[in-house]
Chain A
């Protein structure tokens, strides 16, 4: 009974998700495309606010650009009103040129803040929707003496007990202590199908504030104070309000700041060097060189990449408690997966139908099919499916032949399963009884002594952790059906993919070693832990970590919580207990444990995107030197024009082209940084070779082409 509920719920959930995706944008903001025009427009304003020097100071690279933009603007103004004027032989000191440089420097800053604002926009929209549901609701609180009182949801504290009836919104996070009811959690998970909640089940007893009871009533013990509920945390997370820079982001910022200082040195000392060579260099030209050299591309997109990575995880309906967790997911190289529900479906399905000696396979299959035609349990349906498949294989001539059982034998009545008989099946019109059931129950009803093979076969099946069912036709045993927990399709390929990424999978199960070994081999996991108790999981995680591995695991029960906390990446199921969710650094709102694999891929993609744009940004500098240096010294050393390999038209056009390219490349890379670079499972060496070729070598070549194109364009329209 319970099994089929889970199964049906799973089916509806899938449908609901598809519906949700179909109606993207209407009710569920989290499914909007990145470049929804509404979001694009919505980011325009916040991007301007983000240009405030105080808010930009967190980003040293863009802060420097803003300071230089202000500096050039001041020089432009003072040149315009004639307070200052160019020194003789100074390149690039016309107000028209200065005006354009100033504009493009401001744009460079704006493009960076726009990228960040755009990355945040989706989360903001999502948070707004969530906030609506968090509005104050009435709660029926039970006093210690058992009487009820009505209070606002914000008055609830940890330990309060409330009663929620059909149609009411659950006022806060808590655990069910009485009652069984369906709860609609669409606000959190986006799934329209209600979920069954009951007390004492560990998994299904936790409820989230803001969700609605759709049947019956629940008595709930509140586990979170106002402002600390799951919904509150979710709002804060998707909104990015409390976004902390991750350790890797901080380290990268240090690299970028360091490079900025190096280039500040290189350009600042160029002024005295120029004077020594009788080549006076203006501030505007030096500023242009500086801005082109400092890593503005990655500096401008760094935070957008991080926010977008979190958002990609959120779109998978996984809530990462910090960016650090997403980063750590990329580093994981061992994952612990529970067997039941994660690797296998968790219900026993028919895997084999074996005929006893002296019985044709066809006869055994026909009988198996008959016994289960009216059996609506997953086991029954799986037997029908398997028998039909086998029959089609052994009698390939008639495609529909197996559907029609032996002649003269329509089903007269159904023998339902009962706990006493432990068998089920049918009685045919000619009175023939065809039953399947527990081996000892079937054996007891046989005409003759059971053949030895029946016992050996069923023992063999049982020893592998599967369940044998015997079949009899009247008093004659025909065969044995093997029911076993089945590995989810496609997982073997996923695990092979993980292996190519250098990630080891370990299956954790309470089964005996023999069973565990069979399933492990079938699923293609690298290792397994049999007869594992919760404390074994922690011990295993600790051992792996001591060997220098980073471990990820999923969990839902309270006894999983310590292991989930110990793991480097702990993914809790939303259906799990609040203790487990508390311990985890990610929560899967769909409660699908295999999502861990996607989360790892997203983590890797985030890191690759960051690395690719960093490499691209630094590689770009080579071309910019070839554009700007010859232009700077065109008067003092015309010979340096042989470094002008791009053949740029004029010194002003060369400098301007480099600055424009530098600004435009930020905008051009916004889609890449929000979407993430394409990722496929491959060994590190292969990824490195590919990405180095694209973003390293490509990063050296691209600006030569881009700058030249801009130069041709601005020369054609006489901008410089």
Chain B
């Protein structure tokens, strides 16, 4: 089935606006990250200086890559520990709801999983937000992590870019400065504007704990409320994805209208898209950035088209006798909100998994298998098209290095990216990134399929159940955080293995990537000529897409074949799980 015209219009307008914003925002971010004056400086510069004073940071001193990496790790682990303690002790802290929706302290393995989840920018949620976390935990714990984990991503992407573009430098920037600037100048202002827009659409923002209503049948129903809008904007903008409510962006208080849905998707895409422009500008050639953006947009568009088309179909496994009596003209509506429908849901699913957001406005588990394959494959490509805030850029740059290495020799020169030779050290680090991605997803999935504790998780049997496990570890390793649903994740096994997968997916990538930054920074830059490998233009875009898709496909094809692919084939034949 072809996506509806309205659905297509939505997709096209979304990508077009996000692409249009890439240039101004990309330029703004470059200025911010290089410490130049911007229009917000009069207000924010004093705050920035204050932060440095409190943190005792000298903003003029740059770090070598090991120091930068240690700063990232130390900062993250302190944050994880703090968030863990806050959850364990939340009832003793202020702003804890009382009454009907009162919540207790979080148990250890869940608190651990959640702390890692929010600090790795994953926002995998093994809990029900509204009934597990207090307002203080949501606002001072989770929402703060939404900012700083995203800011960490931007910082690392910029550090890698510096490494790639600087000549014979020993340092790659100062993590504390990068963290502060990206939070203050980039995330806070956009999130603020975004929250106001969302409130205008009906997203709630209140400290009232709950609303009791009487239903038509006369029963009393308690509806939890909360300060949602402030968290919603950064949830999308920071490609975090952790919803205030368990239903996430499917909940009418988080995402009430098609317009708010569109705005949320735009918030998701805007920074990952624009960072490519920042990269191009820092590299001194805007076309370098546009090439990366083209790769992202192509992969994202194909994914959106497949997912939207898949969900427009009626479910082939519904027996003819039953199908005759139901109206399937709207497409596969299971697990979808009526106000969004199959197109919008398919698009949102692609956008949220193409970035490492993981917010959902529909249940991916209920997608037809091919529709569900798109989010899964998006994640398994390594969350780089366009990927998370910052994480997408440093991920795609790693793949660019691998692509240049494989094909670069074919122009008759030893491979170079942005005029810098790619040698054994960089290859070692880039391969570590690919290896950790593959290891974390495949090993933990294998562990789950081979142990009783793991097998207890999935709701469905057969390939669909397998997909649920595969999706869980893909999502956590990719720091996506969306759930395929169907998997009971709040168990000791899944809390602990999931936390490991999230940490591998974050820190085991960051360290080799910063190592690449450090090693590349020290190299001399070979002057470009018509004899050098072109990393702009359509051939390069095609090549990079090819390498990303083929490396991803080769690594995960057997697993995908046993999950969604065979699931779809069986589904076509009328077998369900």
Contact = CB atoms under 8 A, between A and B. Distances in A.
A548 B529 CA distance: 11
Contacts of A296: none
A688 B410 contact: yes
A689 B557 contact: no
B409 A275 contact: no
Interface in A608-645: 608, 610-612, 614-615, 618-619, 621-622, 625, 629, 633, 637, 639-640, 642-643
B423 A607 contact: no
B531 A333 contact: yes
A262 to B, nearest CB: 5
Contact of A611 (B406, B427, B439, B537): B406
B527 A262 contact: no
Interface stretch (A204-212, A386-394, A422-430, A690-698): A690-698
A274 B438 contact: no
Interface of B: prevailing SS = helix
A20 interface: no
Contacts of B450: 272, 275-276
A347 B511 CA distance: 62
Interface of A: prevailing SS = helix
B406 A269 contact: no
Contacts of A275: 449-450
Given A266-B438, A327-B414, A692-B407, A273 B573 contact: no
Contact of A251 (B411, B427, B566): B427
Contacts of B424: 247, 250-251, 254
A548 B419 CA distance: 8
Given A251-B423, A277-B463, A614 B406 contact: yes
B428 interface: yes
B438 A500 contact: no
Nearest to A328: B414
Contact of B534 (A504, A684, A695): A684
A276 B439 contact: no
A331 B423 CA distance: 14
A267 B558 CA distance: 8
Interface string B454-469: 0100000011001000
A267 B446 CA distance: 11
A688 B414 CA distance: 13
A269 B413 contact: no
- For B411, B434, B569, the residue with the greatest tally of chain A CB atoms inside 10 Å of its CB is B411
A555 B82 CA distance: 67
B405 interface: yes
A269 B559 contact: yes
Contacts of B435: 258, 261-262, 265
Interface string B140-169: 000000000000000000000000000000
Interface in B412-430: 412-415, 419, 422-424, 426-428
B535 to A, nearest CB: 11
A577 interface: no
A625 B409 contact: no
B261 to A, nearest CB: 36
Interface in B381-416: 402, 405-415
A330 interface: yes
A274 B566 CA distance: 13
B557 A549 contact: no
B211 interface: no
Given A333-B531, A549-B526, A640-B569, A695 B466 contact: no
A333 B525 CA distance: 13
B410 A273 contact: no
Contacts of A269: 442-443, 445-446, 559
A262 B407 contact: no
B533 interface: yes
Contacts of A639: 566, 569-570, 572-573
Contact of A608 (B409, B422, B558, B559): B409
Nearest to A687: B411
A605 interface: yes
- For B402, B446, B450, B558, the residue with the greatest tally of chain A CB atoms inside 10 Å of its CB is B558
- For A276, A547, A549, A614, the residue with the greatest tally of chain B CB atoms inside 10 Å of its CB is A276
B446 A618 contact: no
A255 B402 contact: yes
Contact of B427 (A255, A504, A545): A255
A80 interface: no
Interface string A489-514: 00000000000111110000000000
A701 to B, nearest CB: 14
A455 to B, nearest CB: 47
Contacts of B19: none
Contacts of A548: 419, 524-527
A248 B419 CA distance: 16
A608 B412 contact: yes
A637 B439 contact: no
Given A618-B550, A619-B550, A689-B539, A276 B565 contact: no
Given A247-B423, A502-B530, A608-B410, A622 B443 contact: no
Contacts of B413: 330-331, 604, 607, 684
Given A273-B558, A289-B558, A611-B408, 12 more contacts: A248-B415, A250-B424, A262-B434, A265-B435, A276-B455, A330-B413, A333-B527, A500-B530, A625-B554, A684-B534, A688-B534, A692-B539
7 nearest CB pairs, A to B? A502-B531, A611-B409, A604-B412, A258-B431, A502-B529, A276-B449, A684-B411
Interface of A: 247-248, 250-252, 254-255, 257-259, 261-263, 265-270, 272-277, 289, 293, 327, 330-331, 333, 500-504, 545-550, 603-605, 607-608, 610-612, 614-615, 618-619, 621-622, 625, 629, 633, 637, 639-640, 642-643, 679, 683-685, 687-689, 691-692, 695-696
